[in-house]
Amino acid sequence: KSTMLLQAAHNYIERGMACVLLTAALDTRAGEGKISSRIGLSMPAHTFKDQDDLFTRLATDLEAERFACVFVDEAQFLSKEQVWQLARFVDEYGIPVMCYGLRVDFRGDLFPGSAALLALADEMREVREREGEGAHAGGARARTHAYVCAHVYMLPAGAHRMLRTTCCAPHAAHH
């Protein structure tokens, strides 16, 4: 999933569009403030903690520098409130937020951030990965339950994607 995120971010940058990358502060496997894949790709990222107000943070960042997309890695670690903050950001600024993370933990229980994303995302795609000997597409390993949630609809257009933002504002009034 991180490889997919990094590739999508690269596509934006390649077309001259800035993007913001976020990852959970508690994920320091590749070093603090870094998204990396198992195949060696990596990019610097801002970190988030469960108490951070991501709407305010992104709105402030947008005042300083215009960007075209937000990518969130390890999105399972978002709080429910942060997922609503991201949805509000999409609705108010029309900038897509793409979240990549695991759906369930090793026991098969939904992460709270994943549950909120699965409920609010305009689009969700499951990412299947093979992990070592004996792994299969329907396997119960945590990595086979990764997802990409987006507050956008993605329409194929060759090697790149055209984005059309959508709105969940009627539901945001409750949060």
Name the residues annotated as catalytic.
74
Burial (CB count <10 Å: 0-12, 13-18, 19+), residue 3: middle
Q: How far apart are CA 100 and CA 73, in angstroms?
A: 5
C-alpha 122: how far from its chain's center?
13
What is the DSSP annotation of 8-40? Answer: HHHHHHHTT--EEEEEETT--TT-TTEEE-TTS
Residues 6+ positions from 38 with CB-CB distance below 8 Å: 2, 3
At 163, the amino acid letter reads L
Q: How far apart are CA 125 and CA 173, in angstroms?
A: 26
Kindly give the residue spans of alpha helices, DSSP state H, lying in the chain.
Answer: 2-14, 54-64, 80-93, 112-120, 169-172
